[in-house]
Chains A and B, each alone.
Chain A
Amino acid sequence: MVTPQTLGEILEGRGVSRRAFLKYSSYLSALMALPPSMAPAMAQGLAAARRQSVIWLSFQECTGCTESITRSMSPTLESLIFDTISLDYHHTLQAASGEAAEHAREKAMADNKGKYVVVVDGSVPLKDGGLYSTIAGVSNLKMLQDTCKDALAVISVGTCAAFGGIPKANPNPTGAVGIDEIIKDKPVINIPGCPPIPEAMTGSVAYLVAFGKIPELDHLKRPKAFFGDSIHDRCYRRPYYERGEFAEGFDDDGARKGYCLYKVGCKGPVTYNACATLKWNGGVSFPIQSGHGCLGCSEPDFWDQGGFYRPLSTSMPGMGMALAGAAAVGAALGVGAALTARKHQQAYIREQAAKGDEK
């Protein structure tokens, strides 16, 4: 049996210089918010690692997450696939189809038992036995459970895989759930977003390969390196918020001047993601820079937060009838209380008058 080459050997064979490799490792370290001293460790870890077998499962999703990762600038998807990982199964990117594709998945699982990483995009429908989404006649639930059985770790990319996402939006007709509601016995990393930032996906995979462990996660199992700060705290429009300068609409003077978008529904204050720092398309821009408020797409149930264009501080919609009813009840109670009090007063006055007459 031939021992698989390490990444260092593969890169050396391709003529990648040590200097270029160290530069690449430093970038990855910075991406993951690791201290500079960790860059050599990252380089050492990557150089000594074998190419990581990755099985990518796509369930109830729109392929936006794959579209996003193909636009990863550094590391590019190509460098990730050719240098760092062995992408053994991916619906959209693989050449094989049908039984050949399924065999590739099964072979990767058998060859790398206990060592392969499962990446999932899309939620899993549980309602009615999971019949709302099947692949090769197998329900998403069964395929997920079978594939994750011998996995090293699971990475849920996109909000659908992480939290159920849009398929889970009210009224959730398919009973969609996120991956970590099903897989309880393996480490799960959530990289939410609709879609996620490409570097958050590739960076997390690279970290896993380099260090053989999952990065530090927050309470929603998101890597803190990418999801540690809120959009609001890192937003370049934050000074306008502090000064009370807001866009009132998307075409008014405030919008043209680049004022804060809080009033038009920006969810930046309660959304944790790296959009404001890493940005998109190689650091070109991000939604707020393009003039639209943050939708909060990396947070659970972002679709059901009362409306994208309602300011965060407003209450959830649909209270009007309840409050009008309350006003009617309160007014009726007030009138009733006053009438009762008047009745008692009149009785008291009559009583006092009668006592006076008796005297």
Chain B
Amino acid sequence: MTLLDFARGPALQAALVIFIIGALWRFIGALLLPWRLVPAQPREGSPGTVSAWLKGMAVKMWPHEPFAKHGAFQFINGYIFHVGLAIVVFLFVPHILFIQGLTGLSWPGLPNSFVTVIGVVTAASLVAALLHRLRSPVLQLISRVDDYISWLLTFLPVLTGLLATAHLGARYETMLALHILSICVFLIWFPFGKLMHAFLFAFSRGMTGVRLGQRGAEL
């Protein structure tokens, strides 16, 4: 069995099994919790649940005015690599074929050369995010090992994917195998670390908005 066979076969299968179990465990476990932990009645004039949910989501999309100047880079850079990752993961034709093979779902992709450029921008943006984290005293204080592991496991698939495309570092099939293996590690870590925010962010932000709204806080 070659490294690529191992990566495409048993490694990917084990990683997907762990990912699905872990993600559903956390996701369903969180969603089935009581939605109203505070038995108190909402304040008079407080926004409705849906409205507060959407406001809670929207307000986190950009830093509050006092922090706008200092937070702008983090937000803009965050958007760059998140949108970049979304394009690379979901609009690169070989990735769409992979998802189609698993789920049967398919959609049009973008030209490979364009996705390659987006991949380079995404990788640069991720490096910038790491440097910013390492240089910011505030981020240093709130950073945990999870943050660095999550960064590394996000960066490695992008890096190995670009190297495979550019035929750098190793033969294509070896780099493709390393790319798939890096995704396997990413999938295994995903449900148990901060990467799970990809599934939970909408709920955590929405629920924060609802709770603050019920207490009469301005959103």
Contact = CB atoms under 8 A, between A and B. Distances in A.
The answer on A and B forming one complex is yes
Interface of A: 230, 232-233, 241-244, 246, 262-263, 269-270, 300-301, 305-306, 310-316, 319, 322-323, 325-327, 329-331, 333-335, 337-339, 341-342, 345
Given A246-B93, A334-B32, A323 B17 contact: yes
B173 A338 contact: no
Interface of B: 1-2, 4-5, 8-9, 12-13, 16-18, 20-34, 37, 93-95, 97-98, 100-102, 109-114, 167, 172-173, 176
B2 A334 contact: no
A301 B5 contact: yes
A149 to B, nearest CB: 31
Given A243-B111, A319-B13, A230 B172 contact: yes
A307 B28 CA distance: 36
Given A333-B29, A334-B26, A244 B109 contact: yes
Contact of B24 (A300, A305, A313, A327): A327
Contact of B34 (A306, A319, A334, A342): A342
Contacts of A323: 16-17, 20, 102
A311 B99 CA distance: 11
Enumerate the 6 nearest inter-chain pairs by beta-carbon distance, A residue then B residue, closest first.
Answer: A334-B28, A330-B24, A338-B32, A314-B101, A313-B94, A337-B29
Contact of B16 (A314, A319, A341): A319
Nearest to B108: A244
Given A313-B94, A334-B24, 16 more contacts: A230-B172, A242-B112, A244-B110, A269-B173, A270-B172, A300-B2, A313-B95, A319-B13, A322-B13, A329-B21, A331-B24, A333-B24, A334-B28, A338-B28, A342-B33, A345-B37
A263 B113 contact: no
A345 B39 CA distance: 12
Nearest to A342: B34
A334 B93 contact: no
Given A243-B111, A270-B4, A342-B33, A311 B17 contact: no
Given A244-B112, A300-B2, A326-B16, A312 B33 contact: no
Contacts of B29: 333-335, 337-338, 341
Nearest to A319: B13
A69 B64 CA distance: 75
B12 A330 contact: no
A150 to B, nearest CB: 34
A51 B8 CA distance: 48
Contacts of B8: 306, 315-316
- Do most interface residues of chain A lie in helix, strand or loop, or is the interface mixed? helix
Contact of A270 (B21, B101, B113, B176): B176
Contacts of A337: 25, 28-29
Contact of B22 (A232, A269, A319, A330): A330
A311 B102 CA distance: 12
16 contacts: A269-B173, A270-B173, A315-B8, A315-B9, A315-B101, A316-B12, A319-B12, A322-B13, A322-B16, A325-B17, A326-B20, A330-B25, A330-B28, A337-B29, A338-B30, A338-B31
Contacts of B109: 244
A305 B93 contact: no
Contacts of B172: 230, 232, 269-270
A325 B16 CA distance: 11
A345 B32 CA distance: 13
Given A244-B112, A306-B8, A311-B94, A330 B2 contact: no
A80 to B, nearest CB: 32
Given A326-B20, A335-B32, A242 B113 contact: yes
Contact of A315 (B33, B34, B93, B102): B102
Contacts of B95: 313
Contacts of A244: 93, 109-112, 114
A326 B16 CA distance: 8
